[in-house]
Amino acid sequence: MTTKIAYKKSLLLPILCLLPSLLVQGAEKQLNPLESIIPAFSANYSVLHKSDPVGSAVRKLTYQADGTLNYHYQTKVKWLIFSQTRSETSIVTVNNNKVTPVHYSYSREGTGKDKHYEWRYNAKDNTAQDLGRKRKVTPLDFSNNLQDKLSYHLQHRLNLIADASKESYVYPVVSTSGSVKDYVYQFDGEEELILPYGMVKTIRFKREVKAKERITYAWFAPELNYLLVKLYQVKAGTEQFEAQLSSLAIQTK
């Protein structure tokens, strides 16, 4: 009998040793309440030019072990002699519905001149490092919810989830030159769309850059927690591209 008890204890010992770490891991998974609002996802889009398919795009959100979020967007387009791949990644933190950028990278390769940018942000010091050009940009005001050129998309989605009734939303964004510009989304109506993904009810916003004669229309679906489901851009009256949601994979726990 004593031998059996000792044997059982020897079997239980490794499990008991692992128990604290398992409990910690379980607690860590519950630390970020944002995951219940916007779980990790991967959304695929069809890219069109004048209704013809010319490429694809993907938008992803993943939660990192260190508590940051990885927000990624990539497009691949090939049309006639034009071929280009663009990729953006923003590492951010989110506290009290406020997105704060930590690191941003951008690359564009293919037809035309290749471009690469990489930035690191320090909200506590109100500074930013342009890693490509090896220069420091200061001072920057992160107290007004300053964003990078991709993170404002995530901030806009969170703002819509919190309150989608506003006529406009303004986001100060650090450009690749280091200057800060206001990106404005103006409410432009409601619309029911038939997409490759299916039929969805949406609210439409418009962002206009008068200096570049560019207007971007963006559709967000309330039933998908205000995920971007369609994008349409016009420059100087000429259609540039259109992206339509084709599939969505949500990570559930």
Q: What are phi and psi of 22, to 5 degrees?
A: -65, -40
Cα separation, 240 vs 247, in Å, equals 22
The whole-number pLDDT of residue 156 equals: 98
Token output for 79: 């049309």
Cα separation, 15 vs 155, in Å, equals 42
The whole-number pLDDT of residue 253 equals: 64
Q: What does the DSSP assignment read for 7-52? A: HHHHHHHHHHHHHHHHHHHHHHHTS-GGGGTS--EEEEEEEEETTE
Supply the pTM of this predicted model. 0.86
Question: What's the maximum distance between 2 C-alpha atoms anywhere in the chain?
Answer: 88
CATH of domain 33-250: 2.50.20
Q: Where are the domains of the chain?
A: 1-31, 33-250
CB under 8 Å to 154, separation ≥6 — which residues?
61, 69, 71, 90, 92, 94, 99
Cα separation, 104 vs 123, in Å, equals 14
- Written as one letter, the residue type at 176 is T
First to last CA, the chain: 43
**Beta carbons of 111 and 83 less than 8 angstroms apart:** yes
Per-residue pLDDT of the chain (253 residues; tens, 9 = 90+): 544 444 444 444 454 454 444 444 444 455 578 999 999 999 999 999 989 999 999 999 999 999 999 999 999 999 888 899 999 999 999 999 999 999 999 999 998 889 999 999 999 999 999 999 999 999 999 999 999 999 999 999 999 999 999 999 999 999 988 999 999 999 999 999 999 999 999 999 999 998 889 999 999 999 999 999 999 999 988 888 999 999 999 987 6
Would you tell me how many other CB atoms lie within 10 Å of the CB of residue 157? 19
